Amino acid sequence: MINSRKLIIILSSLLFVLLFSSNSLSDDTRKEEVLLTKTIEILQAAHFSPKAIDDTFSEQVFHLYMQTLDYNKIYFTQEQYSILETYIHKIDDELREQSLDFFILSLELLQNQIEFVSSLYTEILSQPLDYDTEESIVIDPEQRTFVKNNAELTDFWRKFLKYQVVDEIVVSENNQKKEFETNDTLTLKTFDEIEKEARERIRKRYETRFKRLEKITKDDRFSSYANCITSAYDPHTNYFPPKEKEDFDIRISGKLEGIGATLSEKDGYIRVVSIVPGSPSWKQGDLQPNDLIQKVTQKNGEAVDVGDMRLDEAVQLIRGPKGTEVTLTVKKVDGTIMDITIVRDIVQLEEQYARSAIFNSPAQGDIGYIYLPQFYVDMNDRKGRNCADDMRLEIEKLKNENISGIIVDLRDNGGGSLPGVVDIAGLFIEKGPIVQVMVGTDKQVLYDKDSRIQYNGPLVILVNSFSASASEILAAAMQDYSRAVIVGTQSTYGKGTVQRFVDIDRFVESTYNNYKPFGSLKLTIQKFYRINGGSTQLKGVVPDIVLPDIYQHIEIGEKDLDYPMAWTEIDKEKYQTWNQKLDIRKLARLSAQRVEKDSGFALIQDASTWLSDKRQDSAINLSLNEYRAKKHIDNELAEKYAQANKHKTQLQIKAPYMPATIEDVGLDSIKTQRIVEWHQKLTEDVTLYEKYKIMCDLIQQQKR
């Protein structure tokens, strides 16, 4: 396991570093300065690769922060940018001097510009626009610079809003045409009516947008600033305010304590989007999608009006410990008002857990399929659900069905628990090293020490460009052992680092207890390596068999992030490869022959080229007639390529099988329906079907 004791000793030493005191500072500014000081101290002491806090570091923080403030370059002008740029090599000095001048100035300038822009859109959209003039706009911020001044910014926003109105007009015209084709008694709207409605929709959109901007607090902006400082170390070192750390824990554990409703913010209301089956809301029964939540009342507490409240703040009121009550005052779709009292409980987010299916294969025998969306673990409960235990259960379930091979799907799996991936790798080999971990200059090797092999049959692992971190460890280990055939896109994501959360409060002197909580740091403390000595950092894992992918011409991965850590190599470990040799070349050749003849993959190839070309289009013509013609072509191609990877294949899936114990008959039927829908999606997955065919080839090869 990771040398956590060493980390604690290093970090604990920071407790003896005293901060200067200044009673003249406001409480919030003092808290921010203490937070930044402690953040830098912790990073310098515990980060895998500490950075010199110098002008280069300052420049990196500056560029990251400017992207955070105005990535799309729609608020600042070159005038404001030049003012802020005077600090490009001073941020390091400010960190040493505990100054926030740059941060405070940036907020003042941003607020002024937001107020200026917010005064533009209503006036610009109050009258019909000129749709005949030949002019264009470049939307992609990477292909343009800041405009010179507010006069140019005004003209940019005129074009920017015109672009959106023109698009709304064309969309409305197309929708009306489709409706008329099915109902020729429909009264068609005139162009003037369509144009006016389009301007009004855009106006409301920006009215909502600027209301949301008003709700962004100084604390929110400061969290972003702190995150830019941490991200200059590497892209995965981040600052988490307390509520964001709670959200992260929910994602990695797959469960939360609350009512089990998905919410959104719309037009100043908190709207119910969906209800999680089996959750307290589902069991209580009264809360329904599209209900608008007006008030939230804790047991024996006063009602809190959530109208115009930020979504994250409303969610904090609605979530709560298991067994506690919360009453929601909601407006139903029919306009009636209802008080709904719900007892909070543990909500399991089933879509985030491992699940399996069985593919019919008359020639080779049934094939098992396991989808693992993430390497989850409950950090707050050792007895909680985790990915390794669930994988064992799914494998046993498939073995009981006498499957001939197993496909493990790690596509879009961004990683998670390092111990979890080591345990899962151990399910497929006898014993041996799984991954090498560097902690500074010290090397640790994480082993599978259990000689039992839960599954020793044919194994295929699916990856794509979004398979990262722990996914890459599992794929790399199985590839190095020649235990599995790795199939996927040109490469995986390329994240070869390990992070750990540190509670900043633990390292802040008692003098500042009234400022707590400060939040947490997720910092890179280790770098992992394959057992063959190479790192997955930047390079990722190159599959044994590469299949066409719609994103194959798009830059995706660690190498495309700002300031990633470098690729390095260490000595390989001793390990024994799997006793059955894989003829990868033959499998790849058979697959390539099928792919070349497959119309589905031909469509994927065309879609990837179209997507790449479309991203390169810089200037958008704002003449309505020109835009209509271009939109018509784009719509035809978009419709053609929208389902490039999704059309009916010959993949056949056995009827859904359910867990042995289901307490609620209603929940059982809902789960069954969701499994049926999931199976339907699998049968329409073109690349999955080819991976199934590769598994059939592998089974046949190993039989011989």
Sheet with 485-488, edge to edge strand ranges = 355-359, 367-371, 405-409, 459-463, 485-488, 545-546
State how beta strands 261-266 and 269-275 pair.
Answer: antiparallel
Among residues 279, 465, 469, 591, the one annotated as catalytic is 469
Structure tokens given for 491: 């490469």
Residue in the block written with tokens 């370059």: 73
- E strands, 345-495, are 345-348, 355-359, 367-371, 405-409, 432-439, 442-448, 459-463, 485-488
Whether 495 is a known active-site residue: answer yes
Report the distance separating Cα 68 and Cα 360, nearest Å: 49
Report the distance separating Cα 628 and Cα 620, nearest Å: 12
Report the distance separating Cα 129 and Cα 147, nearest Å: 22
Report the distance separating Cα 138 and Cα 620, nearest Å: 6
The answer to whether 653 and 675 have CB atoms below 8 angstroms apart is no
Among residues 234, 345, 448, 480, the one annotated as catalytic is 480
Report the distance separating Cα 656 and Cα 668, nearest Å: 11
The answer to whether 285 and 410 have CB atoms below 8 angstroms apart is no
CA proximity to 199, closest of 134, 130, 127: 127
Cα angle 445-448-451, degrees, rounded to a multiple of 5: 145
Count the neighbouring beta carbons within 10 Å of the beta carbon of residue 579.
9
- Which neighbouring-strand residues pair with 445? 436
Among residues 495, 527, 631, 671, the one annotated as catalytic is 495
CA proximity to 253, closest of 351, 420, 385, 424: 385
- DSSP letters, 121-164, are HHHHTTS----SS--EEE--GGG----SSHHHHHHHHHHHHHHH
HSE toward the beta carbon, residue 280, CA cutoff 13 A: 24
Which residues have C-beta within 8 Å of that of residue 386, sequence separation ≥ 6? 376, 377, 378, 417, 420
Burial class (CB in 10 A: 0-12, 13-18, 19+), 369: buried
Report the distance separating Cα 550 and Cα 553, nearest Å: 8
3-state secondary structure of 522: strand
- DSSP letters, 268-307, are TEEEEEEE-TTSHHHHH----TT-EEEEEEETTS--EE-T
What is the biggest distance separating any 2 CA atoms in the chain, rounded to whole angstroms?
A: 81
Residue in the block written with tokens 């971190």: 469
Residue in the block written with tokens 């994103």: 551
- DSSP letters, 451-463, are ---S--S-EEEEE
Residues in the chain: 704
Which residues have C-beta within 8 Å of that of residue 358, sequence separation ≥ 6? 366, 367, 368, 369, 398, 401, 403, 653, 654, 657
Sign of CA dihedral 318, 319, 322, 324: negative
Whether 93 is a known active-site residue: answer no
The answer to whether 547 and 68 have CB atoms below 8 angstroms apart is no
Sign of CA dihedral 494, 555, 412, 70: positive
Whether 148 is a known active-site residue: answer no
Enumerate the active-site residues.
469, 480, 495
